[in-house]
């Protein structure tokens, strides 16, 4: 499989970009990687890059977007931060990727059993991590069940995963609210902004 070119990127639609990601994840789950020569792709992309998707994911070592979507060099912009939340710098990166570099799908990818989300559920406090946790805690408060405080912590993995989904949903809402550039691209049908969850137990990505 060759690296994307200006011509192949130009044929991309938001729906086609999402389809490419879904097909890549299906290959990943079946351990059927696309036939690609990464060193050849290094040469192919030396004069430019033409990715078709931008993916915001967690830093979790088990959730590499390139791997779980079976993509090669030059295929996707990968933005990673613990807890896959939105801030000004990440929005700027997304605006560059979508408006200037031409990606057609913008995906916020959360995952099950997320350590950053667990920290938010437990209201962890540790150095600079505290400020990061504070950005995820609104998702904890937004999940209303269970009401029993004894069950609203990292030991309850169902609660953790519910918070992770809510965190993805809130990140998407923040993208639309805080970036006029991305909101306009979406309204014009030039990009799709979607959320997804990766299951660390079986490798499956479920689009929300």
Q: Where are the beta strands (DSSP E) in the chain?
A: 53-57, 76-80, 105-111, 192-198, 205-207
Q: At what angle do helices 88-95 and 157-178 cross, to 10 degrees?
A: 60
Confirm whether 45 is domain-assigned. Answer: yes
161-175 pLDDT, tens per residue?
Answer: 999 999 999 999 999
Rounded distance, CA 53 to CA 2, Å?
Answer: 16
Instruction: Compute, in degrees rounded to 10, the torsion defined by CA atoms 93, 97, 98, 102.
Output: 170
Write down the pTM of the prediction. 0.95
Sign of CA dihedral 75, 81, 82, 85: negative
- Say which CATH number the domain at 66 has: 3.40.1050.10
Confirm whether 58 is domain-assigned. Answer: yes
- Secondary-structure breakdown of the chain: helix, strand, coil percentages, each rounded to the nearest 5: 50, 15, 40
pLDDT at 22: 98
pLDDT at 112: 98
Confirm whether 93 is domain-assigned. Answer: yes
Confirm whether 191 is domain-assigned. Answer: yes
Which of 86, 97, 183 has its CA nearest to residue 136? Answer: 86
Low-confidence ranges of the chain (pLDDT < 70): none
- Domain with 174, as residue range(s), is 6-207
Confirm whether 1 is domain-assigned. Answer: no
Full DSSP string of 38-87: HHHHHHHTTT----SEEEEE---TT--HHHHTT--TTTEEEEE-TT----
Element (H, E) at 91: helix 88-95
Please give the tally of structural domains in the chain. Answer: 1
pLDDT at 1: 78
Rounded distance, CA 108 to CA 47, Å?
Answer: 28
């Amino acid at each position: 499989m060759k690296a994307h070119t200006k011509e192949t990127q130009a044929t991309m639609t938001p729906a086609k970009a999402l389809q490419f990601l879904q097909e890549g994840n299906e290959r990943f789950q079946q351990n059927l990687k696309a036939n690609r020569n990464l060193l050849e792709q290094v040469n192919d992309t030396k004069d430019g890059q033409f990715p078709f998707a931008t993916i915001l994911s967690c830093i979790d070592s088990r959730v590499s977007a390139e791997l779980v979507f079976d993509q090669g060099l030059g295929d996707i912009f990968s933005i990673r931060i613990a807890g896959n939340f939105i801030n000004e710098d990440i929005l700027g990166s997304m605006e560059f990727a979508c408006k200037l570099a031409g990606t057609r799908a913008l995906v916020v990818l959360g995952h099950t059993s997320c350590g950053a989300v667990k920290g938010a559920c437990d209201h962890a406090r540790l150095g600079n991590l505290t400020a990061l946790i504070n950005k995820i805690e609104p998702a904890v408060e937004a999940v209303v069940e269970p009401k029993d405080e004894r069950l609203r912590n990292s030991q309850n993995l169902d609660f953790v995963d519910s918070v992770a989904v809510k965190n993805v949903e809130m990140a998407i809402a923040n993208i639309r609210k805080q970036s006029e550039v991305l909101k306009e691209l979406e309204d014009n049908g030039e990009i799709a902004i979607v959320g997804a969850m990766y299951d660390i137990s079986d490798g499956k990505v479920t689009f929300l």
